[in-house]
Amino acid sequence: MTKAIFLDRDGVIINSIIINGKPYAARKLEYIKILPNVKESLNRLIFDNWKIFVVTNQPDVARGIISKEDVEEINTYLENILPITKFYTCYHDNEDFCNCRKPKPGLLISAALNNKIDLNKSYMIGDRWKDIEAGKSAGCKTFFIDYDYKEKKPTNYTYRVKSLSEAVKIIIG
């Protein structure tokens, strides 16, 4: 069994589009901006023998706002330029009641089963309460990147930080 870092995509490795204080996923590749120090932070994790998985909700596919192909284009682009082991994506909306949509831990559990990951030795890093709940439910320690969004906040995270690079400094020491 190995250890892993689970990352949300939007707001953790790439920019979210903020409207009225709430975060939304960018819908086209040309709107994607990798956040500061992400590549360096991920390289530090790889050097320290962590596997890196992105676990992301993309409900705009189910809502008909973006195509699955556009989401996969963004994910493939990120996989090609960042040291990410694999993406796990939920394309469902809340009404679908799937097991993969965060706050349920299905994406993390699938990644763990497929890659022999010890969830108790792993971390979930996210910027929304659903990320933190999914990580806790899966048995991971959690990092909440607090951008002070105008929405529900998680209450029971392991660490609160301002960026991925701050989380990585804590993980690696």
Tokens of 107: 């994406």
Query: Tens digits of per-residue pLDDT, 31-76?
Result: 999 999 999 999 999 999 999 999 999 999 999 999 999 999 999 9
Q: Which domains does the chain have, with CATH numbers?
A: 4-172 (3.40.50.1000)
pLDDT of residue 173: 87
CA neighbor of 37 nearest in space, from 169, 173, 171: 169
97-119 tens-digit pLDDT:
999 999 999 999 999 999 999 99
Could you give the CA distance from residue 133 to residue 105 in angstroms, rounded to a whole number?
A: 8
The pTM score is 0.97
